[in-house]
C-alpha cells in the first residue's frame, strides 16, 4: 500500500459517495472510463480538452484500483476516517503504546488525559490499526505510536 493513498479524493474522482455500494461504484467507474477513454473521443474535441480527459482517464483508473478492491478500499476508508478524526479532535500528544496502561479486566489500554478524563483503546481497535484515540471527557485525542 502506497503511503500517498490519501493524496486525492478517490470517491470524488469516481463521482461517488463513500456510502455508495460496490455496484454503484462499479457503474460510475464504467461510465467514466468510457467517457474519458482516449480511443472514444470524437475528432472535434480540442487538443487541450483531450489532454484533460486523458488525465481524468488515468485518475479514474487509479481510483478504481483502490475502490474496486475490497482490501484497499477498506484501508482507504480507514485512513479517511483517521484524517477526519484528526480534523475534528486536536491531537494533544503522541504516546507509545507501551506507555499506556494495560487493563486486563477491560481488555483495553488506557492513558490519563490532562483534563482528568481518560483515553481508552480497546485491544480490538489496537489490532485494527486505529491509532487515534479520543478522550472520554474532553475533545482532545492522542496518537498512538510504535504499534506492532
Phi, then psi, of 37 in degrees rounded to 5: -60, 130
**C-alpha 126: how far from chain center:** 17
Of 14 and 142, which CB lies nearer to Zn ion in the complex structure?
A: 142
Of 32 and 140, which CB lies nearer to Zn ion in the complex structure?
A: 140
Residue of 55, 94, 137, 146 interacting with Zn ion (CB under 5 A):
137
Residue of 58, 115, 123, 145 interacting with Zn ion (CB under 5 A):
115
Residues that contact Zn ion, how many (by CB under 5 A): 7
Residue 119 beta carbon to Zn ion: minimum distance, rounded to whole angstroms: 8
| 113 is a site residue for Zn ion (CB under 5 A) | yes
Three-state DSSP string of 76-134: HHHHHHHHHHHHHCCEEEEEEHHHCEEEHHHCEEEEECCCCCEEEEEHHHHHCCCCEEE
Residue of 135, 141, 142, 144 interacting with Zn ion (CB under 5 A):
135
Query: What strands, in cross-sheet order, belong to the sheet with 101-103?
Result: 101-103, 108-112, 118-122
Q: Which positions touch Zn ion (CB under 5 A)?
A: 113, 115, 117, 135, 137-138, 140
Amino acid at each position: 500500500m502506497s503511503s500517498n493513498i490519501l493524496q486525492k479524493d478517490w470517491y470524488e474522482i469516481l463521482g461517488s459517495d463513500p456510502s455508495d455500494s460496490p455496484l454503484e461504484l462499479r457503474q460510475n467507474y464504467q461510465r467514466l472510463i468510457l467517457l474519458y477513454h482516449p480511443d472514444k473521443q470524437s475528432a472535434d474535441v480540442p487538443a487541450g480538452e483531450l489532454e484533460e480527459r486523458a488525465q481524468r482517464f488515468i485518475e479514474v483508473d487509479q481510483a478504481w484500483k483502490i475502490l474496486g478492491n475490497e482490501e484497499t478500499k477498506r484501508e482507504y476508508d480507514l485512513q479517511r476516517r483517521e484524517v477526519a478524526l484528526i480534523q475534528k479532535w486536536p491531537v494533544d500528544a503522541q504516546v507509545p503504546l507501551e506507555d499506556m496502561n494495560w487493563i486486563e479486566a477491560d481488555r483495553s489500554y488506557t492513558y490519563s488525559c490532562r483534563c482528568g478524563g481518560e483515553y481508552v483503546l480497546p485491544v480490538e481497535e489496537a489490532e485494527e490499526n486505529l491509532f487515534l484515540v479520543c478522550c472520554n471527557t474532553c475533545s482532545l485525542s492522542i496518537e498512538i505510536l510504535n504499534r506492532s
